[in-house]
Structure 1
Amino acid sequence: MGVARGIGIFTGTVIILGVGVCGSAALVGPLPTASVTRVAMAETEPAVPPVLPAAGASAVTEAVTAPPFATSGSTEPVPMASITKTITALVVLDKHPLGAESQGQTVPITSEDYLAYLDYQKAGTRTVSVYTADAWSEREMLQAMLLGSSNNHADTLARWAFGSVDDYLVAANAWLAEQGLAETTVVDTTGLSDRSVGTAADLARLSAIALETPAIASVLAEPVTGLPSRRGIENTTTYLPERGVTGISRSYTDAAGICLQFGLDIPVEGSAESFRAYGAILGQPDWDALDAAMNAFVDSATAGVSATPILAEGTPVVTFTTAWGDSADALAGLSPEAPRWGRVTPDITVDTDPVTTAGTGTRVGTIFVDDGSGEEQPISLKLGASLHDPGVFWRLSHPGAVIGALIDSL
């Protein structure tokens, strides 16, 4: 009996001590951190939506990496006329880079190039004259192809850079795939073929790629000089410059209709920045229809663009939920303003701090918002409501959670 009683006393003592230790740990130990879930971000509707033509196919984007913020018409690949030459320029420049002010390498004109010039001329398509033994600089070739829409110069550039037009086409379609322009395909350098096709969404992004390429941007912006000037190149790309439009390609074929590839800059009241968009309008029935469509689009941009916060202050971004059932949304703090237009779903990443209990307005992390230019803007993340201590009863009834948090903190 004595031994049994002693064992009982010892066991009871251990239990009491254990309960005491656990109870003490539960009372004074740290609380488990709250779990975090993202709040779905709603699209914001513009007060004045972009106006694009119903005919053909159109799309507008803000950046190379951004999806279109406005589209209209067909979403299928369609013939793209001389926008194909923009692809030729970009693929050649990928092989033979050219600085914004550089003339680049010399491109000799061969007998094959001269015969191609005669063939295009006989067919009644756009050409710029060349002669065997001419020596054009790479920049002059780009001027002839982009500004003069010269079909023979497109073929010559492809042969010079890749050895043959066929080898160029292999490289061009591989380049399109690398850029994520999966619904655009070229079968020639010029766009005269109705099988050189692209979607408006792809070609809007292509506009951004072109205007962010220094050699192309400078060719489009500067007057024709040197040999191209002496050969009588007419600039086919200039279009509505007084309205902030930069024409990249403006062209027509029977299959494609009227096609425009462009950039647009709109000054924004109250902001040092302007709003820039890149677009493509394809398949317009005539030049008057293009003029009406483009002026309507620019009018809607002028009315619709404004400087607004990148992410509205007070927007719920994440929800913190505690193990004891308390929850609170964390809200976006004050963010810088940027020119905005169109339907926007902010592209954000969130870095949260460990949170157990905290009062309303406590900073609990940082939001990083892509402002559309590829730059991430940091915005503070603050609690919209308090997360309270669960109290003694919850701590004592959930010692495992508290002790687990204590172990994690060690």
Structure 2
Amino acid sequence: MGGLAESPTEDLGRLLPAPPARRDRRRLPWALGGLLVLLLLLGGGLYAVAPLRDPLPAPTVELTLPASMAIPGTAPRLPWPRSGQAMISVDGLGTLGAFGGSKPLPIASVTKVMTAYVILTEHPLAAGEQGPKLTVSAAQAAAYPAEKARGESLVEVRAGEVITERQALQAVLLPSANNMARILAAWDSGSVAAFVDKMNAVADDLGMSDTHYTDPSGLDPDTVSTARDQVILASRAMALPTFAEIVKQKQATIPVAGTVRNYNELVGRNGVVGIKTGSTDEAGGCLVFAAVLTVGGRKLRIVGAVLGQPGANTPVQLDRVFAVTRSLLRSTAAALAVHTLVEAGEQVATVRGPLGAGSTINAAEKVEVVGWPGLRVRLAAQIPAVSSRIAAGAEHGQLTATAGVGKPVVTTLRTGAAMEPPTTWERIRRHR
């Protein structure tokens, strides 16, 4: 017989489907929390990406040096004369000082600077060239005795005498021959009067607003000018090589008169290279002068004028004007020096990058200029555009310093500390 029969209940369990599993209600809050976190992360990511889409602002450069600055120190005080007028100028730098106002004064034989200037601009001479020949007329020679009787400054001339343009200019500029000034004037313009008109036209063109010429020699006291105007003319005249050659001579040899000497006893001393004396009772002692000084390895031409120095006669008047000029030149030489305006490494500009980044732009070398305390110097920085990434010590632009109208002094500029663009994380943090 078989074994025991299976239970009816077990049979029924095999026949009926299993009941569904019971859900765990405790998992629902966790699922909702995870979904919320996911949404927050997605939203935060969108928020973080937003500033990365915007371009970075370009760095800015702000100059820390002024557009100009005065050479530090006390401005020089020059030993001006007690009377008359005076002015000192340095070619390329400007006027060092002036005295006596701007009232036109008689200038005596200083007038001959304009006479020679007009002749040489109308009839230029190359270095050492004698130029065209002039012939002294019978009338010009016949006037010599009367001119001598008046006590004029002259060179002896004879009818039919042949003299070159250079020799005639030597007679005018060295022994200050009035008669040769008139002979040159008539040779150039046909008459003395026509030449005087030309002198005044040139003065107007040069900006000599307080000057009026009535004769080519300066004997007429109605020929008047100022120290300022004569400095203007002297600077232009000294730019003519032949003029500069002649006024630097202590003597020369010309026909008939023979050896003639330069009245300007300062020539060849203390750097003096010219230019012209003058003296009459009305004008007193006058001198327009030029000197060359070496400062910091650079040659500077000093041009000045002293007018109206008192004295009983020509020797006394000229002694007085020579003494004043020597003092002015000594003080000028003492005032001129090399001055440092910007030190090596000194900051020239500030660089401001995006999100607080920054650097500087500095002078690679010191900036030195020749001048005197108080002289104003123009500063100009040429700085190319700056990117958001710059290396330390990289060459970047230049600084130019210009005193007067002289040659500019240029130095290289270099970056200071390195500057990097902000990282992505820095941009996100700054945006938040």
TM-score with structure 1 setting the length:
0.75
User: Residue in 2 aligned with 1:368?
Assistant: 400
SS at match of 1:158: helix
1:279 and 2:304 matched: yes
User: Residue in 2 aligned with 1:298?
Assistant: 329
1:58 and 2:90 matched: no
Q: 1:237 aligns with which of 257, 264, 271?
A: 264
Q: 1:39 aligns with which of 66, 77, 100?
A: 66
SS at match of 2:262: coil
- Alignment partners' CA distance in 1, 2:174 and 2:292: 20
What do you get for the CA RMSD once the two structures are aligned? 3.9
Aligned partner letter, 1:379: T
CA distance 1:387–1:243, change in 2 (3 Å): same
Deviation of the 1:92 alpha carbon: 0.8
Q: 1:81 aligns with which of 108, 127, 135?
A: 108
Do 2:348 and 2:363's aligned partners in 1 also have CA atoms closer than 8 Å?
Answer: no
Aligned partner letter, 1:313: E
Higher relative contact order at CA 8 Å, sep ≥6: structure 1 or structure 2?
Answer: 1
- Alignment partners' CA distance in 2, 1:394 and 1:235: 84
Q: 2:383 aligns with which of 337, 347, 352?
A: 352
Aligned partner letter, 1:367: L
- Alignment partners' CA distance in 2, 1:394 and 1:233: 90
Instruction: Name stretches of at least 5 consecutive residues in structure 1 with no aligned partner.
Output: 1-18, 398-410
- Alignment partners' CA distance in 2, 1:317 and 1:189: 57
User: Residue in 2 aligned with 1:408?
Assistant: none
CA distance 1:151–1:387, change in 2 (3 Å): farther
Q: 1:154 aligns with which of 175, 178, 181?
A: 181
Aligned partner letter, 1:168: F
- Alignment partners' CA distance in 2, 1:194 and 1:336: 49
Aligned counterparts, 1:62-141, within 5 A: 62-63=90-91, 66-141=93-168
Q: 2:227 aligns with which of 195, 200, 210?
A: 200
SS at match of 1:346: strand
SS at match of 1:169: helix
- Alignment partners' CA distance in 2, 1:85 and 1:187: 12
Deviation of the 1:104 alpha carbon: 0.7
- Please say which of residues 104-113 and 143-152 is displaced more in the overlay: 104-113
Do 2:135 and 2:162's aligned partners in 1 also have CA atoms closer than 8 Å?
Answer: yes
What are the superposed Cα offsets for residues 243-283 of structure 1, whole Å, 9 maximum, x if unpaired?
22233112212232211111123344xx4444431111111
- Please say which of residues 181-190 and 225-234 is displaced more in the overlay: 225-234
User: Residue in 2 aligned with 1:3?
Assistant: none
User: Residue in 1 aligned with 2:241?
Assistant: 214
Do 2:359 and 2:415's aligned partners in 1 also have CA atoms closer than 8 Å?
Answer: yes
Deviation of the 1:151 alpha carbon: 0.9
- Please say which of residues 221-230 and 184-193 is displaced more in the overlay: 221-230
Aligned partner letter, 2:116: A
Deviation of the 1:382 alpha carbon: 5.2
1:379 and 2:411 matched: yes
User: Residue in 2 aligned with 1:16?
Assistant: none
Do 1:249 and 1:261's aligned partners in 2 also have CA atoms closer than 8 Å?
Answer: yes
Do 1:146 and 1:249's aligned partners in 2 also have CA atoms closer than 8 Å?
Answer: yes
Deviation of the 1:146 alpha carbon: 0.2
- Alignment partners' CA distance in 2, 1:352 and 1:121: 68
Do 2:156 and 2:257's aligned partners in 1 also have CA atoms closer than 8 Å?
Answer: no
Task: Decide which structure has the larger Cα Rg and report it.
Answer: 2
Deviation of the 1:126 alpha carbon: 0.7
Q: 1:169 aligns with which of 196, 207, 211?
A: 196
CA distance 1:361–1:167, change in 2 (3 Å): farther
Aligned partner letter, 1:169: V
Aligned partner letter, 2:79: L
Do 1:169 and 1:187's aligned partners in 2 also have CA atoms closer than 8 Å?
Answer: yes
Do 2:158 and 2:256's aligned partners in 1 also have CA atoms closer than 8 Å?
Answer: no
SS at match of 2:95: coil
SS at match of 1:258: strand
Q: 1:262 aligns with which of 282, 285, 289?
A: 289
SS at match of 1:69: strand
Instruction: Name stretches of at least 5 consecutive residues in structure 2 with no aligned partner.
Output: 1-46, 312-316
CA distance 1:210–1:384, change in 2 (3 Å): farther
Deviation of the 1:97 alpha carbon: 0.2
What are the superposed Cα offsets for residues 109-141 of structure 1, whole Å, 9 maximum, x if unpaired?
123433454443232211111122111100100
Deviation of the 1:164 alpha carbon: 2.0
What are the superposed Cα offsets for residues 354-395 of structure 1, whole Å, 9 maximum, x if unpaired?
236668876542233446674333223457899997985999
Do 1:252 and 1:259's aligned partners in 2 also have CA atoms closer than 8 Å?
Answer: yes
Do 1:141 and 1:153's aligned partners in 2 also have CA atoms closer than 8 Å?
Answer: yes
SS at match of 2:108: coil
Equivalenced residue count is 375
